[in-house]
Structure 1
Amino acid sequence: MTTLNACFRGQLGDFQLDFEFSIPSRGVTALFGPSGCGKTTLLRCIAGLNFLPEGKLEVDGEIWQNGKQFMPTHKRPIGYVFQEPGLFAHLNVKRNLTYGRRRAGIKSSNDNELHELTGLLGIDHLLERDIHALSGGEKQRVAIARALLMKPRLLLMDEPLSALDQDNKNEILPYLEQLHSHLEIPVIYVTHDRREVERLADHLLLLKEGSIIAKGEIGELLTRPDLPFGRAQDAVTVLDGQVRHYDARYGLSTLQIEGGTLEVPDQLGPTGVYKRLRIASTDVSLSHQEALNTTILNRLPAVIWKILPTDGPSLNILLRIGNMGEGSPLLASVTRKSVEQMALKEGQQVYAQIKGASLLGSSSTTQPRAHCMTPLIACE
């Protein structure tokens, strides 16, 4: 069930906007694109901080904006996390967390909700600490908890990691993944960092010069031949697989993906949970027949969907896993010489040999992370 339908078109200052999209009832939707493409502007339109006379916004069937019918920001049940945490230096962590609830008139009979959320974000031991004694990652986790304690129906995050150094980013990312599997509300996440998109996003809105040039499920967009991701020399595939079995003798987990299975080192969790894998295109090679005398465990039948040019000496081959190409997309980086010598062409059946797959994150969920996105609202 789609929960948010939006359409923002028109002139805003010197910026011409053309945004129309829908997002599902849960999961992370990333707004991705270069600086100045309109990511923060779009987020501010959703929050009601920017006003377009012809804008439309509907959340769970409730009209937040329809032309001049406009719900002001303070009445919209949203949580907003900015690049800087914006905490009150004269209040400790717990008082920062409860300040907004008191101001909004949100009452709670006990602290169970607060302690559950702070435990999830790993800040429960910091409640009595002063703000100046926190690391950058800890401050941002407090800011996220503060936003969620307002009981929002929608969480907006505007490049929440951009002000952090790499160590603090690495510290906070596992908590964002953990949060993802627990939240029952949609998250709209602004970033220009592709690794954050790969690790956190279920869906992607790709922005350029005030317009949405592509939208859809993350695994599909990262491999789409008409987008820059699939043509990059460092292209990757992101797959969500369900744990089916653990072989204790060899220390390997079997993950079910669309069109086949993969064996991945380590015990990844109980049967039934989903895990996200990142596969570099340079870690995928091709053969005409299945090579049995090889150390590569993961050899999957696939069909060549598209041969994509890159800026380098190799070509990216877009595959579909499965004997009939019915499964997940997969990118392989192959030299032009190999393409010619093997006479590779679109529609051909091959075997994809996956030399390595890295686990993205540590969170687990019993539901697949991706859902389709379909437009439900139109600008007139």
Structure 2
Amino acid sequence: MSIALDFRLTQGRFTLDCSLASAERVVGLFGPSGAGKSSILRVLAGLARPETGRVVIGDRVVFDAERGINVPAHKRRIGFVFQQARLFPHFNVRHNLAYGGWFARHRPDARRFDQVVEMLDIGPLLGRRVAALSGGEAQRVAIGRALLSDPAMLLLDEPLASLDASRKQEVLPYIARLSAESELPIVFVSHQLDELLRLANRHVAVVQGGRVVFSGATADFLSRPSLLGAEGHKDTGVLLKAHVHAHDVDDGLSVLACPQQRLYVPHLPGYAPGAEVTVHVRARDVILARAEPGVTSALNDLRGIVVHIAEDAPAHAVDVILDIDGQRLDARITRKSAAALALRPGDGVHAIIKSLALAEQAWQRLGGL
């Protein structure tokens, strides 16, 4: 489902001028706190009314200031999950989930209810009161309630922001599974890069100071450190496309085909051989060598061709862009190292990457990049 937004919204002293269009099923909104990301979701959901502009979801105009169109929130079929779970404390989990069905076009049957419960692994919680839930459990129930409302689109407004690190790791795989396995269009808000890349590995829009300053492919977003936040230069890199080739459980590794070469990453449980994944490789984690390095502690040695060398990288560094079997790989090295290697476009090179540098950075692909 596509979205097309072009509106102006004023809230107190803050003005949001939003222009955003995407035909991707999952769109990530990224940017600092207070940039306007949540306000965009509120406009999509019909919870905030712009002064001017137009909002189109799929082929349906839900807001048009000039034509006087403003479809009420309850008729937009939008599932909204907030930072806080906002469950009803006087209901148990089963009744909270059932409440979502009251807003569905067709009341969910037992099969649909069971599907959502299984996807989010909340079966053991059905009889519990809200007060007895952990923060992570409550967010999973909130997501389930939104899904059972039979939405045409799901909006996730930093659903992990209120959770500590351990609870985030508890909930994130369920949201990732929802993103990967469901056909439901999702707009996901975050200011954490790792969350964003795991859930929106195709399209990202960057919001800064009330404006959308970038909207495009996640791979292009990753190559522009100015968009990645104050420490963005540390995460600049690429997304490599790969398939799971095999699992080496004894050594705690998964072997990926990328596409002809092998890439070793920390074990990816639940990914069957043949599954498509993306791997975020940071430029600063890539070591370059002119010749085959021989025996080292780094398991990954990808052979590539130098495409471009940029000497305007920050911190007295040089960015080297490689072609690895038709895919781009970036390496950030010091100027001293660049001088010693004396690389030129067209040169063959070995890109060496530690497997542990790829920990928690391989995710199921959402239909390609």
TM range (shorter): 0.7 to 0.9
Deviations 1:174-217 (A, max 9, x none): 11111112211211111111121122222211111111111222
Superposition deviation, residue 142 in structure 1 = 0.3
User: 2:152 aligned with 1:153, yes or no?
Assistant: yes
Within 2, Cα distance between the matches of 1:161 and 1:252?
28
Structure-2 change in CA distance of 1:259 and 1:231 (3 Å): farther
Q: Percent identity?
A: 34
Please name the residue that 1:81 is paired with: 81
Deviations 1:53-73 (A, max 9, x none): 432122221111222211111
Structure 1 range deviating more: 13-22 or 241-250: 241-250
1:195-234 equivalent positions in 2, closer than 5 A: 195-202=194-201, 203-224=203-224, 227-228=227-228, 232-234=233-235
Kept in 2, the 8 Å contact 1:233–1:311? The answer is no
Within 1, Cα distance between the matches of 2:361 and 2:296?
29
Match of 1:52 among 50, 53, 56: 50
Superposition deviation, residue 23 in structure 1 = 2.5
Structure-2 change in CA distance of 1:350 and 1:116 (3 Å): same
Deviations 1:27-50 (A, max 9, x none): 3x2111111211111111111122
Root-mean-square deviation (CA, aligned residues, Å) is 3.0
Please name the residue that 2:305 is paired with: 302
Within 2, Cα distance between the matches of 1:249 and 1:95?
43
Please name the residue that 1:315 is paired with: 317
Within 1, Cα distance between the matches of 2:78 and 2:183?
13
Superposition deviation, residue 103 in structure 1 = 5.3
Superposition deviation, residue 255 in structure 1 = 2.6
Deviations 1:282-327 (A, max 9, x none): 3211123444555544222032435365654x5252524237xx42
Please name the residue that 1:8 is paired with: 7
Superposition deviation, residue 275 in structure 1 = 2.1
Please name the residue that 1:188 is paired with: 187
Write the letter of the residue equivalent to 1:114.
F
Write the letter of the residue equivalent to 2:118.
G
The residue matched to 2:234 in structure 1 has which SS? Answer: coil
Aligned residues, how many?
Answer: 362
Structure 1 range deviating more: 184-193 or 294-303: 294-303
Please name the residue that 2:284 is paired with: 282
Within 2, Cα distance between the matches of 1:354 and 1:216?
27
Please name the residue that 1:120 is paired with: 119
Kept in 1, the 8 Å contact 2:318–2:335? The answer is no
Structure-2 change in CA distance of 1:12 and 1:231 (3 Å): closer
TM-score of the two chains, using structure 1 as the length reference: 0.84
Within 1, Cα distance between the matches of 2:290 and 2:260?
18
Please name the residue that 2:72 is paired with: 72
Deviations 1:327-346 (A, max 9, x none): 23x33231232123323466
Within 2, Cα distance between the matches of 1:225 and 1:169?
25
Q: Which runs of 5+ in 1 are unaligned?
A: 371-380
Kept in 2, the 8 Å contact 1:253–1:264? The answer is yes
Within 1, Cα distance between the matches of 2:59 and 2:359?
37
Write the letter of the residue equivalent to 1:32.
F
Please name the residue that 1:352 is paired with: 351
The residue matched to 2:52 in structure 1 has which SS? Answer: coil
Superposition deviation, residue 26 in structure 1 = 2.1
User: 2:271 aligned with 1:272, yes or no?
Assistant: no
Q: Which runs of 5+ in 2 are unaligned?
A: none
Please name the residue that 1:238 is paired with: 239
Within 1, Cα distance between the matches of 2:178 and 2:362?
11
Within 1, Cα distance between the matches of 2:330 and 2:175?
27
